[in-house]
Amino acid sequence: MDAIRTKGLTKRFRNLVAVDRVDLEIEEGELFGLLGPNGAGKTTLVHMLSTILSPTEGKAQIYGNSVTEDSDIVRSIIGIVFQDPSSDEELTGHENLIFHGRMYGVPKERREKRARRLLEMVELKERADDLVRGYSGGMRRRLELARGFLHEPKVLFLDEPTLGLDPQTRRRVWEYIKMLNDEEGVTMILTTHYMEEADHLCDRVGIIDKGEIITLDSPESLKKEMGGDIVTLTMVDLDDFSEELRELNSVHEVNKEDGKFHLTVENGESIIPKLMKLAHENGLEIESVNLRKPTLEDVFINLTGRSIREEEAGGSERMRIRESSGG
């Protein structure tokens, strides 16, 4: 059966439509990604699925249980790792897990066994009895992953699980997420604005923008739909010659953004000389040329005409919601 099913799920805050008629079917054991910029509606969607927010319209079920009518049951079978750290700094890592287990009614012997096993899995066994206030950001994130699994949820929501971490620590957290998904078989829904994270971890990805799921498939299938190589041209003067570029036989898509042209082409190596010649004929100078295979960033640019920016990280969606709701 589907772990999660939504139909027309919508959330409005006064004049802001944060989530707009989302239909989803997520399979049991799937690691599903919601990919999009901050403010796209990812966190709001997760908050509705986890019963933190009530939908304005539409329906959502977790293992057949309605998030509105069976909210107590839903809360008992899900876990959530929030964007912001939520572990108690005045408790040890081990105590945080035990307290969480008690809150969920996990029997004493079971919660002790689970806590030891999970702390070892996320490589915190040697720091289990240290106060969390002495943990690094990466250690705290690993602890919160372990805590999210302690009560053996059927579904775990990971809301921007690596936000603010350095690249090396982020990759380590990816390893823990993948390992826990494989070993525990838990359905995971991960929100992220990191393209590489979604590509590396997720079985399927729903790209969300302005509250809507604009496309949904496996990362590989989404990239294949681009239909070729990606050539990026950096121009000295960005005079628009998009129409001239589109007239070349091997060019499928042209997007102009941030002083660059992003082209989807066939046989990228062979078309570069033609691009240089075309620019020269139009009195333009190409500063640099980059050739590569498509990424999920290219998919997003192709669908929306803009990129997901790193500097958008950090609370934009919550700020928009707060402003629209008067909070």
CATH class of 2-222: alpha beta
Walking along the chain (327 residues) 10 residues at a time, the average pLDDT comes out as 94 94 96 92 95 97 97 95 89 96 94 94 94 94 92 94 87 89 92 92 95 95 88 80 87 84 87 90 89 89 75 47 46
Q: At what angle do helices 137-150 and 93-103 cross, to 10 degrees?
A: 30
Q: CA–CA separation, 108 vs 106, rounded Å?
A: 6
pTM: 0.81
Torsion angle of C-alpha atoms 138, 84, 72, 90, degrees rounded to 10: 70
Amino acid 309: pLDDT: 60
Q: Find tokens 């439509």 and name the residue.
A: 17
Amino acid 16: pLDDT: 92
Amino acid 249: pLDDT: 85
Amino acid 212: pLDDT: 95
The correct answer on CATH 3.30.1490.20 for the domain covering 227-293 is no
Amino acid 311: pLDDT: 39
DSSP designation for 233: E
Helices (H), 83-211: 93-103, 108-121, 137-150, 167-184, 195-201
Per-domain boundaries in the chain: 2-222, 227-293
Residues in Cβ contact with 75 at an 8 Å cutoff, skipping those fewer than 6 apart: 50, 51
Whether residue 181 contacts residue 11, with contact meaning beta carbons closer than 8 Å, is answered with no
H/E stretch holding 246: helix 242-246
Amino acid 326: pLDDT: 43
The answer to whether domain 2-222 and domain 227-293 are alike in fold is: no
Residues in Cβ contact with 280 at an 8 Å cutoff, skipping those fewer than 6 apart: none
